[in-house]
Structure 1
């Protein structure tokens, strides 16, 4: 990795990938080091909160759909 790439901020895709990997607990050491050196904590926190909200709403919607289809 050259110096320009080390200074370049993370792309949205890289941050989303890291948040998803963290949610499933499968983040590699290389990517974790990259996140700490090039990422901003505030961006990861915001993306993590948004991911969690979307996940909870998705689960809520699936449960409501299953209960509706079951006639309850």
Structure 2
């Protein structure tokens, strides 16, 4: 069961990253809608967005500083 949970987390992260860059395959999108839990994707999406913004702010501060 731990392998299943680990693979689910990996799939969510992979799907969120693929969706963020616009390269999500139709097969994976359909899998996400049929097997995935919306809460997992929402949390992963929010975390990705926060980390992405922090990285962008850090890059801008480094370039300007």
Using the size of structure 1 for normalisation, the TM-score is 0.79
Q: CA deviation at 1:11?
A: 1.1
For 2:16 and 2:34, how far apart are their aligned partners in 1?
Answer: 16
Instruction: Pick the structure with more helix per residue.
Output: 2
1:31 aligns with 2:28: yes
Structure 1 unaligned spans of 5+: 1-7
Which stretches of structure 1, 4 residues or more, deviate above 3 A after TM superposition? Answer: none
Determine which structure has more spread, i.e. the larger CA radius of gyration. Answer: 1
For 1:20 and 1:61, how far apart are their aligned partners in 2?
Answer: 20
For 1:50 and 1:21, how far apart are their aligned partners in 2?
Answer: 15
Equivalent residue for 1:51? 48
Structure 2 unaligned spans of 5+: none
Q: RMSD of the alignment, in Å?
A: 1.4
Aligned length: 61
